[in-house]
Amino acid sequence: MPVRVLHMSDIHFGGEDTPALAAATAFARAEPFDLLVLTGDLTQFGRHDEFAAVKAWLADLPGPMLATPGNHDTPWMGLAERVAAPFRRYARSVGPPDDSGFEGDELIARAINSARGWQIRLNWSKGHVSRWQANKAVRRFGTAAPNALRVLACHHPLVEAVGGPMTGRVRGGHFAAKQLVAAGVDVVLTGHLHAPFVQALPCGDGMTYAVGAGTLSLRERGARPGFNVIETTAGELSVTAMAWDGRGLDVERTWLMPLRRSVVKGS
Ligand SMILES: [Fe+2]
């Protein structure tokens, strides 16, 4: 059976693009999907009122949802809370920051929280995936049905996107990428860059695809606001970046890639 995943990211409630978000929300209500994946930066500054808006938005959406935090989802104005309990507000409004997952016969999805409240480096906005996190995620893919699409979600691209408008500089990113490729993960969904992209992770068999979604906020970085529609069709994976043009949604670009399981079957 075909699988359809909606992938939205970097809404930045508090600085959201209201008409673009309304169009994306209407799309989610009108179109069937198996899972909505949100790859972080749901808020602008991790404020209580921003998380209240996130909670209200989520309550009005259909279907199963998997979310993971971004670096903006910690309280930017409260250093003590940011250090002691960086994702407490996120947990209250969205859910557990570390253990999100979805499992079905056709689709298995896991999340890794690559954001940190603080780090031992100057730029706390960059990513970190510990070996413990990567190994735990890989173990959890061990329960996947043989033909299930394997999806990993985190905020920061594990490996830098070629030509991307900014970097993720993820500590542990290459280790995690190698582990996920070895585990047969099909797609790694991320945000952070505010621009859509698709590229194969540069390790293993080259059939684990890094997929970035654009933003639905006013914080544009050279790409129109939008989101991704990810579908499996006859042995292929398609990623369609939808974009808001000021009046409606249109297709920015579609990528088509072979799925590992179809190549293995056919060889
Ligand atoms: Fe962002």
- Per-residue pLDDT averaged across 56-75, rounded? 96
Instruction: Find the 249 Cα to ligand 1 centroid distance in Å.
Output: 21
- Cβ-contact 61, 25 below 8 angstroms: yes
Instruction: Find the 17 Cα to ligand 1 centroid distance in Å.
Output: 13
Instruction: Find the 195 Cα to ligand 1 centroid distance in Å.
Output: 10
Q: Residue 3's pLDDT band (boundaries 50, 70, 90)? A: very high
| pLDDT higher at 142 or 130 | 130
Q: Residue 131's pLDDT band (boundaries 50, 70, 90)? A: very high
Collapsed DSSP state (helix, strand, coil) of residue 138: helix
Instruction: Find the 148 Cα to ligand 1 centroid distance in Å.
Output: 30
Q: Where are the domains of the chain?
A: 4-266
Torsions phi, psi of 14, nearest 5? 110, -25
Q: Residue 263's pLDDT band (boundaries 50, 70, 90)? A: low
Q: Could you report the per-residue pLDDT of 91-105, keeping only the tens digit for each? A: 999 999 987 899 999
Q: What angle do CA 239, 243, 248 make, to 5 degrees?
A: 130
Instruction: Find the 105 Cα to ligand 1 centroid distance in Å.
Output: 32
Instruction: Find the 43 Cα to ligand 1 centroid distance in Å.
Output: 9
Q: Residue 75's pLDDT band (boundaries 50, 70, 90)? A: very high
Give 52: exposed, middle or buried? Use CB within 10 Å, 0-12, 13-18, 19+.
middle
Instruction: Find the 39 Cα to ligand 1 centroid distance in Å.
Output: 9
Q: Could you report the per-residue pLDDT of 13-61, keeping only the tens digit for each? A: 999 999 999 999 999 999 999 999 999 999 999 999 999 999 999 999 9
Residue 143: the pLDDT is 83
Q: Whole-angstrom Cα distance, residue 128 to residue 101?
A: 19
Q: What fold, for 4-266? A: Purple Acid Phosphatase; chain A, domain 2 (3.60.21)
Instruction: Find the 232 Cα to ligand 1 centroid distance in Å.
Output: 27
Nearest to 27 by CA among 70, 66, 69, 63: 63
pLDDT above 60: residue 267: no
The model's pTM is 0.95
Q: What angle do CA 38, 249, 43 make, to 5 degrees?
A: 30
Q: Whole-angstrom Cα distance, residue 50 to residue 96?
A: 17
pLDDT above 70: residue 77: yes
- Residues pairing with 243 in the sheet: 226, 250
Instruction: Find the 47 Cα to ligand 1 centroid distance in Å.
Output: 15
Q: Could you report the per-residue pLDDT of 190-240, keeping only the tens digit for each? A: 999 999 999 999 998 999 999 999 999 999 998 999 999 999 988 899 999
Collapsed DSSP state (helix, strand, coil) of residue 182: helix
Cβ neighbours of 143 (radius 10 Å): 10
Instruction: Find the 81 Cα to ligand 1 centroid distance in Å.
Output: 21
Under DSSP, the state recorded for 113 is -
If residue 251 lies in a helix (H) or strand (E), which one and from where to where? Answer: strand 249-258
- Cβ-contact 184, 260 below 8 angstroms: yes
Q: Residue 145's pLDDT band (boundaries 50, 70, 90)? A: confident
Under DSSP, the state recorded for 150 is E
- Per-residue pLDDT averaged across 117-136, rounded? 90
- High-pLDDT (> 70) share of the chain, %: 98
Cβ neighbours of 7 (radius 10 Å): 27
Instruction: Find the 83 Cα to ligand 1 centroid distance in Å.
Output: 20
Instruction: Find the 157 Cα to ligand 1 centroid distance in Å.
Output: 12
Mean pLDDT (the chain) is 94
Q: How far is CA 72 from CA 25, 50, 135, 191, in A?
A: 21, 11, 25, 12
